Amino acid sequence: MKMLISFFLALLLPSLIFARPDSPVFNVLHYGAVGDGSTDATNAFNRTWEATCTSSSSPPTMYVPSGKTFLLHPLKLSGPCVSSGVTIEINGNIVGPSEPSEWRCLANRCDKWIHLKHVNALTVRGNGTINGRGQKWWDDNDRIRPTAFEISHSKNVSLSGLSFKDSPRMHVHIESAESATVSNITIDAPAKSPNTDGIHVMFPLINVELELIALNFHENAGDDCISIVDGCSNLKISNIICGPGHGISIGSLGKHGSNDNVENIVVSDVVFIKSTNGARIKTWQGGQGHARNIIFERILSQDSYNPIIIDQFYCDHEQCKEHVGFSSAG
């Protein structure tokens, strides 16, 4: 077991990545970022992104240098961009404000922290860490907690090399994406951190690969290592270390009678260590839709409570009545 884990972790070590010599590089330090961990860098990142996204030279790179820590409030980087391909290289560290009350949120609603949207041929890479400093969020039930990093409404996306830590809510969220790859990333969250899914993928998601990922939830994890919900199809997940955590979950599907569909999912070469669940499918009573052509293979489970679980009576923190409806197949 130790040799297997060491092998996976060795694969996860990110290498140094550099832009092509003929590619324009837009350094956040040149647009006003300080990188001392306490000076707000949000406006500087926005200015850097604007310069990168409007550059006609291809492919441009937005660069976050190593040896620096950048404090960011909620940040939205939107396209479409002029160039046919854009790279964001993060080798420094990014942190959120330490106090929930300090976050500058629109209408006091913090549902996203770093959000990339409408950017095709997008590459996000590097060896930096994105730390949501979510400890004080987890005990605050009066605020909507933000997902740390979201990519949505984009095609041909690559996310690799980064580390994600202590998100207030989900760490990585991919939505409405086509042809995306997530590889060589690590996700780390402590015990009793609620709903801090490692990677959450949802509608409509087509032709996506998740591979070489270590999800380290200390002791009792807050939620799923990977959660796959409505609209996902042709998804490949491989070479994952998950533990403890709630496993790799299809669902939940069909909540409050919704029509949810997931199909053509392959999960392979996964190690579950002291997880609550391993290979998991969960659906609500009364829902509609299907979960079909689901394959879990070459799974190693060590000290997991439910190595394999299919729950068609899922009910999370609610009073649920008996229903009929949702079906699973395959």
Catalytic residues, which ones?
A: 246
Residue of 212, 234, 105, 113 lying closest to 162 (CA atoms): 212
Locate tokens 């009678």: which residue? 257
Please list the residues that pair with 165 across neighbouring strands: 131, 188
H or E element that contains 11: helix 2-12
Locate tokens 């790179």: which residue? 61
Rounded Cα gap, residues 276 and 248, in angstroms: 10
CB 146 within 8 A of CB 113: yes
176 token code pair? 């409405």
138 token code pair? 């987890």
Residue of 207, 309, 314, 217 lying closest to 258 (CA atoms): 314
Locate tokens 């969220």: which residue? 173
* Other Cβ atoms within 10 Å of 324 Cβ, number: 7
Rounded Cα gap, residues 232 and 289, in angstroms: 13
CB 288 within 8 A of CB 309: no
How deeply is 2 buried, as exposed, middle or buried, from its count of CB atoms within 10 A (0-12, 13-18, 19+)?
Answer: exposed
Query: How many residues does this entry show for the chain?
Result: 330
91 token code pair? 């080798």
